[in-house]
Structure 1
Amino acid sequence: MATEHVDVLIVGAGLSGVGAACHLRRNCPEKTYAVLESRAAIGGTWDLFRYPGVRSDSDMFTLGYSFKPWTDPKAIADGDAIRDYVRRTADEYGVTDHIRFRHRVLRADWDSASARWTVHAQRDDTGETVVLTCAFLFTCAGYYRYDAGYAPRFPGTERFAGRIVHPQHWPADLDHTGKRVVVIGSGATAVTLVPAMAERAAHVTMLQRSPTYVLALPSRDVLADALRRWLPAKAAYPVVRWKNVLLSTANFQLSRRAPALVRRLLLRAARGRLPAGYDVDRHFSPRYDPWDQRLCVVPDGDLFTAVARGRASVVTDTVDTFTERGVRLGSGEELAADVVVTATGLNLLALGGMTLSVDGAEVELPDTVAYKGMMLSGVPNFAMTLGYTNASWTLKADLVATYVCRLLRHLDRTGQQVVTPLPPPDGELEPIIDLTAGYVLRSVDALPKQGARAPWRLHQNYPRDVLLMRHGRLTDPGVRFSRAGTPERRTARA
């Protein structure tokens, strides 16, 4: 049987993959495409995570698509609302019919003679192997491993009489009403779980080894609410979007240039929401500077409110061992618990776990250098979506999808068929993700690198990237255009 061929094959039907398909429909309607999704539903992360209170950690005016206004009153939305938004967008743009569910991509092989990728996927429901070819491969699978979260081994767990759960695999039958809950962790998941579970639990304790910066933001956007009274959604949406982009960019730049000032402001804000005399320095003052790791956003300060009302508490200590009744700490104190939630983080998995080869040679991701944060040196007709670490993921996803469409139109216009990024000729290489969070440090050696300067540098600056990716030149020293039949050669760095 003939292998099915499409112009563009998108991997992943989450926020990024659906957005990429919509951009393709809008900007390259003549291109054929398909979307391969390993899960059984649209939504990606927002379909996977079902723990109490799951919500965005970015405002929805920037986490939403540039072409699809977010109209819900909540600026920081819950997971169900985000999942519905992605599904509605896919339906509206006719993307849903192009998605092949339960198709897990295993590998993709590039052949220069035909200028095509051959992509091998396995159907999780039947075990059948499916083979497709495409002219351009676009991975939108994020960088989290979906089948297993990070779960360090704690001594004594076999003795614990209660229940231990990981947020990534939340059991539908878990009822925490009236129970004592210990949440181990201090990141975005933990600060979401604690106030959500505190509404029904007897008490919730957030047990953290070290603090995280926590920033309270309104759950509704005042400007958006005002503009909605006078302007249609399509007119109000970009105004609020750019307002939030500029505010978050200013916050990040100030944190880089005056970290001590931003630290003082964050701690002062926390003190203002907590009872007098609360030990803010111990529980909310990290050892690192702001934005060395992502700030944790809490809508309307719900975490601080739960602590102030006595429904929740924060303990900064280490786990010595689990006991029959709870968790004994390094200090010797024991936290009684009926349920322990190990919100200990995620594992990274580049490209959704798929492997790549170019003309028979395996691509080693750590040996590649990212071009404009979206393509890999020596890998033709390939792009990946990698969102911002200091802002909304979708801001960068929109730019990447727009750039891919520009590339496809440029290839058609010039009669070329292949675009291949080149490695930087000199300069130091650095990790592509510039955070010191544990989930990054555990996996950074398995990820591509980035160079010292553009176009091999990821700036983490949306206004600057808009100029580069929407309006910048497509031809530069970092990329080569060619026709089919030109073998790819390994280009060593000087």
Structure 2
Amino acid sequence: MAAEHVDVLIVGAGLSGVGVASHLRRRLPGKTFTILEARGALGGTWDLFRYPGVRSDSDMFTLGYAHKPWTRPKSISDGAAIRDYIAETAREEGITERIRFHHRVVSAEWSTPDARWTVTAERSDTGEVAVFTCSFLLACTGYYRYEHGYTPEFPGIERFGGTVVHPQLWPEDLDYTGKKVVVIGSGATAVTLVPSMAGTAEHVTMLQRSPSYVLTLGARDPIADALRKWLPARVAYPVIRWKNVLTATLFYQLSRRRPELVKDLLRKDAVRRLPAGYEVDKHFKPKYDPWDQRVCFVPDGDLFRALRKGTASIATDRIATFTETGIELESGATLDADVVVTATGLDVLMLGGMALSVDGEKVDPADHVAYKGMMLGGVPNAALAIGYTNASWTLKVDLTAQYVCRLLAHMDAEGLRVVTPKEPDASVERVPFLDLQAGYVKRAESRLPAQAARAPWRLRQNYPADVRTLRYGPVDDEVEFSR
């Protein structure tokens, strides 16, 4: 089968893939590229997730692209608006026609003699196999499995007579009007679902084993509104973006350095928003420090509002067993339910599940060290776009795209064809790739690459610092080039 060749092959047409392609179009207009997308539509996460209330978990002025101002009213935006924003960007940048839908990449094989990747994709629409070759491979697949989320084994769940649904695979025809709903979980998805369903269901209970930190943000940003009123969008947008970057960075650094202070501030905010006498410490006081796991943001305090109205409640307990009509808890209490939503997390999957090999040798990401949070030591001409865990995803993806464009431009100028990060000596301490204690991260540690304890093998959770390194720092540190 004749293989189609491009300079850069991008895997994934979500927020990351379209963003990376935009940078290529703008910075390296002479490069050819194609995007392979496993699904039948662009948007990635924002096209896949259709559960009630799905929205951004950070502000859109930083989750949006640096080159494409976010002009919609809400800073915390719904999934449909984000999906439209991605599609609009793809149209404006001439990217849409470069996307091959229904192409699920199954393998990528590097050949040193040819200095290129051979990528094999299966077409879900026709069942055919498509083969591509490329000089540089860019995986914009995120790090979770699209086919299904994570659901633990619940005792007795087979006896339950109601409906069980995972948010990642939300049925279009699910009607929960006037029904009793239990949402299992306490993360960003759960705190989104509960207030969104509470206005329609008879009652919604958020069942959590342990609490998460919850912080109220305004769905609209009044400072941004004022700046956009008086300044052109191209001027206002970077100002708003940096204002939000610095605010988020300050909050994160304060959380890590003065955790007790931040705990106290979050508790006081919760007390102010909850009914008098509410068991705040039982339901809103985690055992870990802020940003050991992601802080959950709720727009305009909608979760607290539902709790005040009584249309929603929280149960902090463990499941003993499902029954025919609901859930029995270890405390002996019972929760009646017609619908149970298992908002229990993601199932991590690196590189979209594609099998990598270099000169016939299988590449397991878990055996490698990540270079600058975007490449794997010993793996040539390949990068992966992984966003921040403590800030907007796109901030890091933008920097990754800018760095890759600088790297490719440097190679072209010097007549170089191959770049390979030189993995650090085994004596250098290894640390986890993702600096989070969240369940989905802990479950997947053995499948993730490591980091080393020093630059450039350490991913910083600090956007201003990464701007210096990735936008302006050298592209030839601890890598090996070849012609």
Q: Answer whether TM exceeds 0.5 for this pair.
A: yes
Alignment partner of 1:443: what SS?
helix
1:444-474, CA deviations, whole angstroms, 9 ceiling, x for partnerless residues?
1111110101100001100000000010011
- Count of aligned positions: 482
Measured after TM superposition, the shift of residue 143 of structure 1 is 0.3
Mapping 1:55-204, distance limit 5 Å = 55-204=55-204
Question: In 1, distance between residues paired with 2:382 and 2:420?
Answer: 8
Question: In 2, distance between residues paired with 1:372 and 1:381?
Answer: 14
Determine the structure 1 residue equivalent to 2:248: 248
Measured after TM superposition, the shift of residue 162 of structure 1 is 1.2
305-314 vs 156-165, which deviates more?
A: 156-165
Matched, 1:207 2:213: no
Question: In 2, distance between residues paired with 1:356 and 1:325?
Answer: 47
Question: In 2, distance between residues paired with 1:136 and 1:325?
Answer: 54
Question: In 1, distance between residues paired with 2:161 and 2:445?
Answer: 37
Question: In 2, distance between residues paired with 1:445 and 1:159?
Answer: 34
1:22-74, CA deviations, whole angstroms, 9 ceiling, x for partnerless residues?
11000000000000000000000000000000000010000000000000010
Measured after TM superposition, the shift of residue 141 of structure 1 is 0.4
The answer (yes or no) to whether the contact 2:166–2:341 under 8 Å persists in 1 is yes
1:181-230, CA deviations, whole angstroms, 9 ceiling, x for partnerless residues?
10010000000000000011111000000000001000001111001111
Alignment partner of 2:465: what SS?
helix
Question: In 2, distance between residues paired with 1:142 and 1:444?
Answer: 15
Question: In 2, distance between residues paired with 1:416 and 1:325?
Answer: 66
Determine the structure 1 residue equivalent to 2:20: 20
Quick one: which amino acid aligns to residue 245 of structure 2?
Answer: V
Measured after TM superposition, the shift of residue 259 of structure 1 is 0.7
Mapping 1:235-384, distance limit 5 Å = 235-384=235-384
Alignment partner of 1:155: what SS?
coil
Mapping 1:367-406, distance limit 5 Å = 367-406=367-406
1:102-133, CA deviations, whole angstroms, 9 ceiling, x for partnerless residues?
10001111111111000011001111111100
Alignment partner of 2:230: what SS?
coil
Quick one: which amino acid aligns to residue 397 of structure 1?
Answer: V
Measured after TM superposition, the shift of residue 254 of structure 1 is 0.6
Quick one: which amino acid aligns to residue 402 of structure 1?
Answer: Q
The answer (yes or no) to whether the contact 2:42–2:87 under 8 Å persists in 1 is yes
Quick one: which amino acid aligns to residue 385 of structure 1?
Answer: A
Alignment partner of 2:38: what SS?
coil
Question: In 1, distance between residues paired with 2:5 and 2:428?
Answer: 40
Question: In 1, distance between residues paired with 2:83 and 2:228?
Answer: 23
Measured after TM superposition, the shift of residue 325 of structure 1 is 1.4
Question: In 2, distance between residues paired with 1:381 and 1:276?
Answer: 59
Structure-2-length-normalised TM-score: 0.99
In structure 2, the gaps of 5 or more residues are none
Question: In 2, distance between residues paired with 1:177 and 1:234?
Answer: 44
Determine the structure 2 residue equivalent to 1:443: 444
The answer (yes or no) to whether the contact 2:2–2:131 under 8 Å persists in 1 is no
Alignment partner of 2:196: what SS?
helix
Question: In 1, distance between residues paired with 2:349 and 2:271?
Answer: 38
The answer (yes or no) to whether the contact 2:13–2:36 under 8 Å persists in 1 is yes
Question: In 2, distance between residues paired with 1:46 and 1:3?
Answer: 31
Question: In 2, distance between residues paired with 1:451 and 1:133?
Answer: 31
1:150-172, CA deviations, whole angstroms, 9 ceiling, x for partnerless residues?
01121222222211111011011
Question: In 2, distance between residues paired with 1:58 and 1:399?
Answer: 18
Question: In 2, distance between residues paired with 1:367 and 1:284?
Answer: 38
Question: In 2, distance between residues paired with 1:6 and 1:316?
Answer: 53
Question: In 2, distance between residues paired with 1:274 and 1:127?
Answer: 54
The answer (yes or no) to whether the contact 2:58–2:76 under 8 Å persists in 1 is yes
1:408-453, CA deviations, whole angstroms, 9 ceiling, x for partnerless residues?
1001000111110011123210110010100001111111110101
The answer (yes or no) to whether the contact 2:35–2:98 under 8 Å persists in 1 is yes
Quick one: which amino acid aligns to residue 441 of structure 1?
Answer: K
Determine the structure 2 residue equivalent to 1:216: 216
1:359-378, CA deviations, whole angstroms, 9 ceiling, x for partnerless residues?
11111211110110000000
Q: Hey, which bits of structure 1, 4+ residues long, moved more than 2 A? A: none
Question: In 2, distance between residues paired with 1:397 and 1:54?
Answer: 22
Determine the structure 2 residue equivalent to 1:30: 30
Question: In 2, distance between residues paired with 1:367 and 1:316?
Answer: 39
Structural RMSD (CA): 0.7
Alignment partner of 1:264: what SS?
helix
Alignment partner of 1:43: what SS?
coil
Quick one: which amino acid aligns to residue 282 of structure 2?
Answer: R
Quick one: which amino acid aligns to residue 4 of structure 1?
Answer: E
Measured after TM superposition, the shift of residue 324 of structure 1 is 1.4
